[in-house]
Structure 1
């Protein structure tokens, strides 16, 4: 409204001393009633406006959070951000699309060292690893001294093996190297068969060791040993099968591929470990024998490696070093990989 309000005037005829306060109260009563109605309505309206405004801010805040994830949440390695994005990718529903491809994780050292440019070059291949001897053989002399037929003669089932002067047994050395090589070969896709895994009381006999590889139809086999030659001799050598055809033995089909495996193993082992060729063999780290049952009875390509002379102080020190044994295992795995993929 835009009209004027007439100012309040005192009536000169009114002599009652209480009349003036009463008139003032009567004049203000409508305004007070109006305020009593208007103020609560205004307060309710203001509170309602605040609630709506806060709700709008919350909705806006949540929408912004969904639309713009922080760098730390969305891209930090290991926080699941990539997996979350892949789950909503159109390709994730297609098993042949990019989402089905393996992740580009850094390859393991053994896989990176695999010849052939792939991290599983031995998929579908079977490898026999034969850790020589057994630490329990010394307690089972009757069993290991039993003679077995190796085709062109009879030999003891097994022997105790040798050791360093400090007492490190050949059987412990061979099993450790084989376990290390097994991990590398398995990473490369191979099926690895062991003739014994440290869980037998003794043995197995040499004829059983050959039979395990034959029954597994191994693509290649290596028997790992350490020599017990005179202390003056040092170095390693690889033993390959001679041609033997007698009784249960017939190496005719494996001589040539075994020689190829033996040459690869010799060269790779020397390059990988720095170990020299055996000074007491005189054949550039190679030997061919017809008196080893593990070779005579094998129907699959197979070689022996004498990784060093445990009676020689220098060789013994190297073979007692876990890092050197890892290099030996790496060389063994690399040679088998080259043979099977070459």
Structure 2
């Protein structure tokens, strides 16, 4: 018997227009139908992150090309999720009903984690949760980490080269520090004073308090400068990078400077002797495989801030947009009883 016969509706946090958290409302929607190549996941946890926030407002405007020009094509946000496979399509061979899964879906008309059920292609960014890993950790493991790995994939970091990660307390930065260390890279991480102890637990070779030590006062000793919060600039990076070094930011920067400077990189590099790259995020399966391996080995533990029930999703967005979150903010949808506890 199909799930649609047993249950026709689900609880969601949805919106009908672009705007701030106030446009969100809790409402019932039909349970999505499972296509032949899809799996239906009963959601345990999701998150609210900067990708969700951008699509909530429809900013930058370029995102509306994918999500709908005037009205959002994805009424239910939540690009990260974890849960249990409830149903599999006729052509699916890699998943079975009852399996614990997690994944990432930031397609313009995808998302869907802020609901009791969502569908996703079995060949998309979805895989099984490793044994011993909680639904909460798994749900918070993909958005920041896939951005971090997309940045790292743009360059080839050789033995003995040094990397500066600015913003190690965010979802991207905290994932980047841990995943680069797992690759045996020498990492220097930055953090505000109040979170130094948290970042130190990741094991960076050096830790810098950016509140007391301006980045442009550092010596020219880094081969790569990864700006995980987009709050620095190429002008600052040039002062701390060795000749031949590379700056990569996760944000466009003031006046979209990181984008246009990267477009003229071959020319500006002749003057500055340093490169700038603006990374386009990848959905390559190998990224999810590396994330899963990190979770399984314990080398990667997503940093968790706080948790909100589904009915308070708007409040979670309000908190995230303050810019004060530490790592990841969870949305508790319907975690099943048993299994590893939510840490």
TM-score range, shorter chain: under 0.3
TM-score calculated relative to the size of structure 1? 0.23
TM-score calculated relative to the size of structure 2? 0.23
Please state which structure has a larger fraction of its residues in strand: 2
